[in-house]
Structure 1
Amino acid sequence: MDTDSIFVPPEHAQEIIDYFQPLNPYNLDIDLLKPEKEDMWSYGISSKRYALYTYENEEIKFMEGERSFKLHGLGHLTNPFPKAVDDWQAEIWEDILKLHYGIIKPTDIEEKYSSLFAVSRLTVSTSNVLKRFKKINEGQPWSRQIKPFNFCNVGFQVIEDDGKPIKPLAPFSNDPPKIAYEPFIDYNTGEIKQGVEYFKSLNRTILQYADHPEYKYEGNIGQMKRRHIHADSVVLIGKEANNIDDQPLDIYQAQVFINKQEIMDKIMQLDVEMGRTVGIAYRGTLKRIQDKIKQTGDINLNARFMRELADKLM
């Protein structure tokens, strides 16, 4: 079930449609619910990753005039073969289904997509992103510089230098896979680097996509049960849409709001041994913190030590 759709046994579809029709809020005589798909196969990887299709004589067909496969987890990618394939997502989904039916093997996926790379398009909408193009812009005439609200391309990190992830950032190209063979900027350092080894291959992306686990339900295949969740704490965060333009770079984490009173209550419950497990090495340090809470009813979460302590107690 989704926010705007639900799967039911076909023989009960019309009965359910008729049952809910009196809830129609419109003056027009239109169906509140309507049957959508019949006589089609459904292949589901996980929530929001599924396709509806027909399958006969090893031939896979999607619905005509309507996209009957979901792009969740693929929609952020640019067309890996811009001059050869128009509906490239359909081709990837067809290969995933061929893999399922044994028509092709994982090695065929690797052979077809290993020379292509997972690349996204990003708008230069913040000063943080624009600053990274400083070295590339140096010495270039204004017309050739990367400017605010231009597009750029982003690769996906696969290796690290000195323990730090390399995040490829490059000027926009109408042929995105080519950026893997040209100089790019490491978003974290601003350094110019080059090499295909820094880019995630598309075959790896596709195979991981096809093997994506289902987090909302228990089980691996077939009919699954909804997963039961028991919350042991609550953390308030900012909206998911905050800084959404920068999310492909993974440079902004969700904003977290700390419940100061809850942290102080947990500190007051600590004994010496428990304090050591969260980084308070000395009895005297714990006593001073607890005494201050008793006297002032407050703690300074801007102090680095207290911030780290709060993170461990959350």
Structure 2
Amino acid sequence: MVTDAGGSYLMCDTDSMAIVSSEHGGLVPCKGGTHRLRDGNEAIKALSWKQVREIVDKFEKLNPYNKEIVPGSILNIVEELNFNPNERQRQLYGYGISAKRYALYVYDASEVKLIKVSEHGLGLYYRPKEGRDSDCEVALWIKEGWQSILNRALGVSSQEPDWFSLPVMRRIAISTPNVMAALRRLNRDQARPYNFALSPVLLNLSNIPITLLGPFEKNSEIWCTMPYIDIHTGSVHTLNPPSLLVLAQTFEMVFFQHHRHPEYKSLAPDGSPCRAESHGLLKRYPVTASAFHLIGKETERGWEQAEDVSTLLPSLVRYQENNGVPTDQLTERLRQIPLVFL
């Protein structure tokens, strides 16, 4: 309905949409838009607030509830975002990276004030500082990170958060005996079933698997110097000084990558696949089935829990085409198995 009315949207999630709109509507500069401003630049059409309200009202017919108890449309315009404390609708602005990575903000005098930020792609990391922001209803560090992204995009000078230099950690539950046995070499008392451990997010510069786990520690000041154990070899290491051919990712690196995340599900305005620098009105990505690849549907049950150690060691079986003839390796393995077991 939005596109039928000639409009566009900043983002569209499962149950929400940020529609490009203003009080009276009009054109908004945007690369790839089908409209043109007086200076010839490309633009998109912003719907008026009245048009958005009319679209919302059309969904009243789909309301399955008793109208006397639950009146109105099944959609709603979020009042705590779109209206100020004086119950007057205000103009929102948005900064979108991809469908699930976005921030909404307003101008409060000369200050850029965030009122909603997405946690997508960030919530899996353990917090580098305590606290929760009541305005955006997210962890304080996520809001501060988004503020850094937005300030850089708008050309606003600001100081980066002091925790940007910290190594990025994931909190992992001790859910397997081998992980518990490894961690008991570091701290026998703390390594108990379903207690937590910390795992630094690494850029592996070697050709061997490396997965480090350390004691669960809230004090971020000692993350670099405390001991970690490699669950593959049992050897003990620290991040600083480094003792492995790895680079521990910092939160500054994470937010830089977060900001440059391409929207893989869409095409750039020129019709090419989206890249980090792509911007403007994105296009639909056509999908053509060319070949089928058989994969195993069996997965680690721990994948359902973001804090399970199996999420650090993903394994997906991909089956090759089978012509019915066993390979030499399979033939040799079968010969080693006694017939009584076959």
Structures share fold, TM-score greater than 0.5 = yes
| Rounded Cα–Cα distance in structure 1 between residues aligned with 2:328 and 2:299 | 24
TM-score (structure 1 length as normaliser): 0.71
Q: How far apart, in 2, do the equivalents of 1:248 and 1:193 lie?
A: 21
User: When you count helix as a share of all residues, which structure comes out higher?
Assistant: 1
Displacement over 6 Å in runs of 4+: 83-86
CA contact (8 A) 1:246 1:252 kept: no
1:50 aligned residue: 102
Supply the AA of the counterpart residue of 2:198.
Answer: N
1:40–1:54 Cα contact (<8 Å) kept: yes
Question: For 2:18, what is the secondary structure of its paired residue?
Answer: coil
Pick aligned residue for 1:81 from 129, 132, 138: 129
Cα offset for 1:195?
Answer: 2.4
- Residue in 1 that maps onto 2:280: 222
Equivalent residue number for residue 280 of structure 1: none
Deviates more, 1:41-50 or 1:26-35: 26-35
Give the aligned partner of residue 189 of structure 1. 233
Aligned-residue offset at 1:201: 1.4
- Partner secondary structure for residue 180 of structure 1: coil
Cα offset, 1:57, TM superposition: 5.3
TM-score with structure 2 setting the length: 0.66
Aligned-residue offset at 1:125: 1.8
| 1:8-27 aligned within 5 A | 8=19, 9=47, 10-27=49-66
Match of 1:136, SS state, is coil
| Amino acid of the structure 2 residue aligned with 1:246 | D
* Residues 1:101 and 1:21: Cα distance change in structure 2 (over 3 Å): same
- Number of residue pairs matched? 258
Q: 1:253 aligns with which of 288, 305, 315?
A: 315
- The corresponding residue for 1:117 is 167
Letter in 2 for 1:22: K
Unaligned runs of 5+ in 2: 1-11, 20-46, 83-90, 134-138, 269-277, 334-342
- Whether the 8 Å contact between 1:154 and 1:248 is mirrored in structure 2 is no
Cα distance in 2 between the residues matched to 1:98 and 1:305: 63
Query: Any residues of structure 2 matched to 1:23-172 within 5 Å, and which?
Result: 23-27=62-66, 28-30=69-71, 31-36=73-78, 37-38=81-82, 39-56=91-108, 58-63=110-115, 68-82=116-130, 87-104=140-157, 109=160, 112-137=162-187, 140=188, 144-161=189-206, 163-172=207-216
Tell me the residue number matched to 1:4.
15
Deviation of the 1:299 alpha carbon: 5.3
Cα 1:305–1:254, aligned 2, differ >3 Å: closer, same or farther?
A: farther
Q: CA deviation at 1:129?
A: 2.6
Does residue 211 in structure 1 map to residue 211 in structure 2? Answer: no
One-letter amino acid of the structure 2 residue matched with residue 164 of structure 1: I
Give, in angstroms, the shift of residue 62 of structure 1.
Answer: 2.4
Over 3 Å counting, the alpha-carbon distance change for 1:5 and 1:249 in structure 2 is: closer
- Listed one character per residue, the Cα deviations across residues 65-112 of structure 1 (whole Å, up to 9, x for unaligned) are xxx11111111122213389971111111111011111238xx64x84
Q: 1:113 to 1:17 in 2, by over 3 A?
A: same
> Cα distance 1:232–1:152, how it changes in 2: closer, same or farther (>3 A)?
same
C-alpha RMSD of matched pairs (Å)? 3.2
* 3-state SS in 1 of match to 2:224: helix
CA distance in 1, matches of 2:92, 2:50: 15
Distance in 2 between residues matched to 1:127 and 1:103, nearest whole Å: 50
User: Is residue 102–residue 117 contact of structure 2 (8 Å, CA) maintained in 1?
Assistant: yes
Amino acid at match of 2:15: D
